[in-house]
Amino acid sequence: MRTQVCIIGGGPSGLLLSQLLHRSGIDTVVLEQRSRDYVLSRIRAGVLEWGTVETLRAAGVGARMDAEGLPHDGTYLSARNRGFRIDYFAQTGKRVMVYGQTEVTADLYAARDAMGGVIIDEAQGVTLHDVETGAPYVTYHKDGTEHRIDCDFIAGCDGFHGVSRPTIPDTIRRDFERVYPFGWLGILSETAPASHELIYANHERGFALCSMRNPELSRYYIQVPLDHTTDQWSDAAFWDELRRRIPEDTAETLEMGPSVEKSIAPLRSFVSEPMRWGHLFLVGDAAHIVPPTGAKGLNLAASDVHYLHEALTQHYAGDAGAINLYSDRALARVWSAMRFSWWFTTVMHRFPDQSEYDQRMQESELQYLETSQAAQASLAEQYVGLPF
Ligand code: FAD
Ligand code: PHB
C-alpha cells in the first residue's frame, strides 16, 4: 500500500490529523493497535479549550459537540472547604466546552468512516523504517499477514507508550520529566453534577475535582498515594473522601450513586524534543504528557495537529521549508502548557513532604487568586488556552 502520510495511532491526535489532511486533499492511512471498541471505551479528558472547539468545527466534526457540549464561563476553586469563582468569560471573553474525549473520538471515527478514510485497527507489531530518508515505510501484522505501507511522512500519534518516539535515536532525542508522588483516582457516576461548573479543591487531605460529562453523568477525582489500587476504594469510601475535601454546601447536596467506571492515573510532566526527526513527526501524548490538573493533554494534542496540518498542507503546496517549523512551533506551546499544568498541580495538591511553610505558600497563592483580578486573569487566560 502507498499513502502520503502514514499515521500511527487512532486516538484523538491520529484521527483529527487524518480528518484535517483528508479535507485538504492529502491521503492518509491510520494504523491502530487496539480494537475500535477498546479505543471508544477509554474515559479520559473532559474539557476543551476554545481553540480545540474551533479546530474540531474546522474538521467538520463540531455538530454534536455544539448541540450536546456544555459551554462553561468559569470554574470554582476551593480552599479549606470554601469555594470562590474564577470567571473565564469576564476575564478573557472566552469560554471552555465540557465535552468528553470519548465523544470527540466517536465523532472523529464517524467522520472518517463517512469520508471513506482508511483506519486499520488491531494492527500488531507496527515498525517504522528508513525514517531519516525520503522513502520511509511502516510494517505491521494483521490476521497473520505482514503488510507494508510506503509513504512520504510518518505521524507518530501513538501516545506515551507508542513505538514512534523510541525510533528517534538517543543521540538526537532529549527527554525532560517530572513524576509526581501521587495519582488521581477517578470515577464516573450516573448522577447529576455537583455544581453547574467544575470545582477544583485544595484540601489538607488532598486534592479533589468535581467534573461532569453531561447533566446526568458526573466525573469526580481525588488525589491518592501512588501505591493505592481501585480495589481498596469502595464507592462508599470514595464518596466519603470526596465530600470531606469539597465545599461544605456542595458536600451536603451531592448526589451519590454507584460508579460505572473507576481508575487511577499517575501524574507526570514529560516532554521529548525534537518533535520531528527526518520524515517522522511526533504528535500529542507521543511527545508530551501533562498532569491533568490544567486539562491540557487533549488540547495540546489538538494544537500539535493544527500546526502539523498547516505544515503538511504548505509542504504539498510547494513550500519546502514549512515542515522545518513544526517542532519549534509545537514545542513553544507545549512548554507554556507544561508550566501552567505544573503550577496548577503544585498549588492544588498535598505533597507527601509538604512542610507547614509550603502549605502557607499554597494558602497564600489561593488567597491571591481569590482577591486579585490580575491573578484571575492569568489563570483564566491559560485555562481557556493560549492562541494557536
Ligand atoms: P492517545 O489518546 O494515547 O492515543 C494513542 C493511540 O495510539 C491509542 O489509541 C493507542 O492504542 C495507539 N497506539 C499506541 N501504541 C501503538 C502502536 N505501537 N501501534 C499502533 N497504535 C498504537 N487529559 C485531560 O485533559 N484530562 C484528563 O482527565 C485526562 N485523563 C487521562 C487519563 C489517562 C489514563 C491517560 C492515559 C490520559 C489522560 N489525559 C487526560 C490525557 C489525554 O487523554 C491525552 O492527552 C490524549 O488522549 C492524547 O491523545 P493522543 O491521540 O495523542 O494519544
Ligand atoms: C475531566 O472531566 O475528566 C477533567 C476535567 C478537568 C480536568 C481534568 C479532568 O482538569
pLDDT in tens, 91-115: 999 999 999 999 999 999 999 999 9
Retrieve residue 104's grid coordinates. 470527540
**What is the pLDDT at residue 266?**
97
CA dist 64 and 1 (Å) reads 34
pLDDT at 231: 97
Q: Is 202 left (phi over 0), alpha (psi -120 to 50) or beta?
A: beta
Ligand 2 geometric centre to CA of 295 (Å): 6
pLDDT of residue 359: 86
109/12 Cα distance (integer angstroms): 9
- The CA-based angle 315-317-318, given to 5 degrees, is 70
Tell me which residue has its CA closest to atom 2 in ligand 2: 46
- Measured distance CA(182)–CA(176) in Å, rounded: 19
Residue recorded with cell 514512534: 164
Q: What is the pLDDT of residue 366?
A: 96
Q: At what angle do helices 12-23 and 101-114 cross, to 10 degrees?
A: 40
Q: Is the CB of 33 under 6 A from ligand 1?
A: yes
Q: Nearest Cα to 63, choosing from 110, 25, 30, 102?
A: 110
For ligand 2, is residue 291 a contact (CB within 6 Å)?
no
45 CA distance to ligand 2 centroid (A)? 6
Angle between helix axes 50-58 and 297-316 (nearest 10 degrees) is 40
**d(C-alpha 113, C-alpha 172), whole Å:** 37
- Catalytic positions are 72, 200, 292, 296, 383
- How far apart CA 127 and CA 125 sit, in angstroms, is 6
- Label the pairing between strands 5-8 and 153-156: parallel
Residues in the chain with pLDDT values less than 70: none
Reported pTM: 0.97
The CA distance from 306 to 303, in Å, is 5
User: Which set of grid coordinates corresponds to residue 7?
Assistant: 499515521
CA 141 to CA 270: how far, in whole Å? 30
The strand pair at 137-142 and 124-129 is best described as antiparallel
C-beta separation of 189 from 218 below 8 A: yes
CB atoms within 10 A of CB 258: 9
Strand, coil or helix: what is 189? Answer: strand
Atom of ligand 2 nearest to the CA of 45: 3
Ligand 2 within 6 A of CB of 72: no
Torsion angle of the four alpha carbons 286, 292, 298, 300, in this order, in degrees rounded to the nearest 10: -70
Q: What whole-number distance in Å separates Cα of residue 254 and Cα of residue 228?
A: 25
Tell which phi-psi region holds residue 80, choosing left (phi > 0), alpha (psi between -120 and 50) or beta. left
State in Å: Cα 71 to ligand 1 middle: 24
Ligand 1: does its nearest atom lie under 6 Å from the Cβ of 284? Answer: yes
